[in-house]
Amino acid sequence: MLSRSCIVFVLVIVGSSFSHHLSSALLNLTLPGQHPDPEAVAHEVHRKVNASLSRRQMLSYTTNDQSSTCPTGNPIDDCWRCDPNWQLNRQRLADCTIGFGQHALGGKGGRYYVVTDSTDHDVVNPNPGTLRYAVIQTEPLWIVFATNMLIELKEELIFNSYKTVDGRGANVHIIGGGCITLQYITNVIIHNIHIHHCHEAGDTNIRSSPTHYGWRAKSDGDGISIFGSRDIWIDHCSFSHCKDGLVDVVMGSTGITVSNNYFSHHNEVMLLGHSDDYLPDSGMQVTIAFNIFGKKLIQRMPRCRRGYIHVVNNDFTMWEMYAIGGSGNPTINSQGNRYIAPFNRNAKEVTKRLDTSEEKWRDWNWRSSGDVMVNGAFFVASGEGVEEKYEKAYSVEPKSAAYIDQLTLNAGVLGRRHNNLGKWTTRNGSGPDYEANSSDFEDYDDYSGCQKTYSDNYVPLTVLTILFIFLFLNGTANYVLY
């Protein structure tokens, strides 16, 4: 009897200890790729912005030329666009990321894959030359486009790790079913792509790698869905008119940068975090920088659940309900943004705590520093002593929103403001002589770069556009790897 009692006693002690450690682990979740010091990452963003703006100012003083296009003051663009021969080393782009997504390699070091076929006929056995065939491969690939393309997806486009989709030198639109899914992968860069009119799809088999396809339930219709993934960079894209969110980051994703994009014509713009109760999202870290939140947006720019969100040097050009919302105690660090409130006097507040009493949210760490409030906009901060900690820790201040016009000058897809990006060229200057007629799609603000209006005639118009592109491609249907 004594021995049995001792055994029970030991089990109770062990069980109690295990329970304590499990509880501690749940409260201190660390995701792969999560930075141990998010404040240092925010500080480094400011340092790079200040350095780029200083270089631009020094150049204007020495040359007496205020109209110089390079350097721009935007540290991402200055990293590659100031090289007149950037197209000879496209993979240089992977060295230009800032913020939490700074380690996103994309397809750096991999071969070049040229998309020559805009179709998406078979989602289980995609044709070589299509975008779908490229993104499911297991090897690192730097994916470029032979010419302007309208790619209408039948189903969600499921990526594999280590891919860059580089739309520079072409005018590429992705629309249709599901749109882009980044699920349980790492190291993806999506650059210079129009993504719009994404709708629900699914309840079918879809291939996700050369050796696997499986049943996929109905997708939400997000522009880009980032699900349990890390080291992701979304840059210089234009988003509008999707069924659900334009960009969603959920289910323990971290190491994300969303930069230099143009968002318009949408209700729920960006969701960060799966739910208030999903603890792994406490390790979510997202940088939102140099974006323009443009025409006809309503809410969620972003809407945050848990995590650390750095919102820096963006231009919010009105909203209908609120700009930044949250629940589940996220940290929101808003610095150097311009917030232009709507004329509705009941919607002037930038921030919104959702489904939470003030007694609970008053200790949440929501801070505004260097932001400019226009037309009666106001930011309701919360948390104690955070501002002092920033000032003591760092001597570099966030750049004022007075520089917003300069920093966001080229937000969205490059070329929509008549920037000539030239043609697709391999790193050694050889390769197919594909011209990029970037003026074929204009009026982006009204319809994501296409010269048409979204209406009930959308389907026949899409068919005509695809027919036009098919004729323009002149029957080319082979893919090229370098």
Report, as residue numbers or ranges, the catalytic residues.
300
Where are the strands (E) in 200-244, listed by range? 204-209, 212-216, 224-227, 230-235, 238-240
Cβ atoms 123, 155 nearer than 8 A:
yes
Nearest Cα to Cα of residue 238 among 172, 187, 177: 172
Query: What is the rounded distance in angstroms from the CA atom of residue 92 to the CA atom of residue 69?
Result: 20
Nearest alpha-carbon partner for 331 in 39, 98, 35, 28:
39
CB burial string 269-278: b at 16+ within 10 A, e below: bbbbbbebeb
Instruction: Reply yes or no: is the peptide bond before residue 302 cis, omega within 30 of 0.
Output: yes
By the 8 A CB rule, do 288 and 264 touch?
Answer: no
Give how far Cα 477 sits from Cα of 101, 401, 407, Å: 34, 47, 39
Give the strand pairing for 212-216 and 204-209: antiparallel
3 Cβ contact partners less than 8 Å away, ≥ 6 residues apart:
none
- Per DSSP, the residues of 141-203 read EEEEESS-EEEEESS-EEPPSSEEEE-TTS-EEEEEES-EEEES-EEEEEES-EEEEEE---S
One-letter identity of residue 251: M
Q: Is residue 334 classed as helix, strand or coil in its secondary structure?
A: strand
Contact between residue 249 and residue 272 where contact means Cβ atoms under 8 Å apart: yes
In DSSP terms, which residues pair with 348 in a beta bridge? none
Helix axes 38-63, 386-393, angle to 10 degrees: 60
Q: Judge whether 296 and 264 are in contact, CB under 8 Å.
A: yes
Strands 111-115 and 194-199: unpaired
Note whether 258 and 287 are within 8 A (CB): yes
Q: Report the candidate in 214, 221, 280, 208 with the shortest Cα–Cα distance to residue 251.
A: 280
Say how many Å lie between the first and final Cα of the chain, rounded: 76
Structure tokens at 216: 């996929």
The stretches of 28-157 forming alpha helices (DSSP H) are 38-63, 75-80, 131-135
